[in-house]
Amino acid sequence: MADKERIGVIGLGIMGKPMARNLMSAGHQVAVYDLFPEPVEELVTDGAILGTSPADVASKSDVTVVMVQNSPQSMTVALGENGIIEAADKGQLVVDMSSIAPLVSQQIGKELEAAGIDFLDAPVSGGEPGAIEGTLAIMVGGSQAAFDRAAPIFDATGASAVLCGDVGAGGFTKLANQICVAANINALAEALVLTSKAGLNPETVFNAIKGGLAGSNVMNAKAPMMFNRNFQAGFRVELHLKDINNVMDTAQQMGVPLQMSAQLQQVLQALFNEGNGTDDHAGILKYVEAMAKVEVKKD
């Protein structure tokens, strides 16, 4: 234990709480903070150290992990009143594992660097199951030295971690991931709607095509959810909408037209407006079904 750095975790939601648990299980001293007291109390009962603010967590940590919902929350946690920047010692490392706009990550990194604090943006893919199992895919932006220092955190929370470039590169890579995932889910939904309209069993269609070029991790995970009509969230529609909004905001700032991402934004926004924001993103199927007046379900 003595050779392990003290770790702070700020944000104990669907992803942050199991990640904090995995760090504790790996033998790290972990200080925790969240706006909601329940997960804090739960983890403190199990051996975590109580943090009363982001600044307080930073004062009790050598490396501080941030896992919050979006860019404004990351900005507040890092740079706002009672934020990390107010209490972190020079040489501390901040690892923001939230999925936020990469240009915002670059801004945070620049201000922390000016205060002598190292920074990595390190968003993840794998959803709640990956956070619980410690099998997240971690996409990292920052220096090699900071990446190497964060390796014990990545080992405890993920199955893979790739340094993609300088600060912001992790976020850009995560946006790329979210484009591909949403596009695959939408294409899968259209495929199952079309074949269901033709009278085929969607489970049979899935079994027939999953071994070919169309097969993918997305298909293997989401097709059974679709034909079993199981939309219990592993990754919510509203969170994927947030990510695609970040895609489009970033693309606009950079002058990059993204036609498919723009369409996905409309699909996800429509689902959210219909009250389906807490569904798993496999619920993109509902949008396609509504357009075609066809329901996908296995025989």
List strand residue ranges (DSSP E) for the chain, in order.
7-10, 30-33, 49-50, 63-66, 93-96, 118-121, 124-125, 136-141, 158-165
Q: Within this chain, do residues 161 and 246 fall inside the same structural domain, yes or no?
A: no
Question: Is the confidence at residue 2, as pLDDT, over 50?
Answer: no
In this prediction, residue 3 has a pLDDT band, given cuts at 50, 70 and 90, of: low
Q: Within this chain, do residues 157 and 194 fall inside the same structural domain, yes or no?
A: no
Q: Within this chain, do residues 184 and 220 fall inside the same structural domain, yes or no?
A: yes
Number of independent structural domains in the chain: 2
Q: Within this chain, do residues 178 and 160 fall inside the same structural domain, yes or no?
A: no
Question: Is the confidence at residue 183, as pLDDT, over 90?
Answer: yes
Picking from 150, 166, 182, the residue at the C-terminal end of a domain is 166
State how far the Cα of 45 lies from the Cα of 78, in Å rounded to an integer: 26
DSSP-derived secondary structure letter, 280: B
Catalytic status, residue 174: yes
> Which pLDDT does position 234 carry in this prediction?
83
Nearest to 103 by CA among 80, 121, 85: 121
* pTM across the whole model: 0.91
* Token representation of residue 258: 């993204």
104: domain CATH number is 3.40.50.720
Instruction: Identify the bridge partners of residue 280 per DSSP, sorted by sequence position.
Output: 236
> Which pLDDT does position 299 carry in this prediction?
82
Given the residues 17, 174, 222, 286, the one annotated as active site: 174
Q: Within this chain, do residues 12 and 158 fall inside the same structural domain, yes or no?
A: yes
State how far the Cα of 59 lies from the Cα of 8, in Å rounded to an integer: 9
Picking from 104, 134, 166, the residue at the C-terminal end of a domain is 166
Q: Does residue 92 form part of some domain?
A: yes
CB 32 within 8 A of CB 44: yes
Instruction: State mean pLDDT over 234-254.
Output: 95
Q: Within this chain, do residues 105 and 213 fall inside the same structural domain, yes or no?
A: no
Q: Does residue 29 form part of some domain?
A: yes
DSSP per-residue letters across 236-262: BHHHHHHHHHHHHHHHHHHT---HHHH
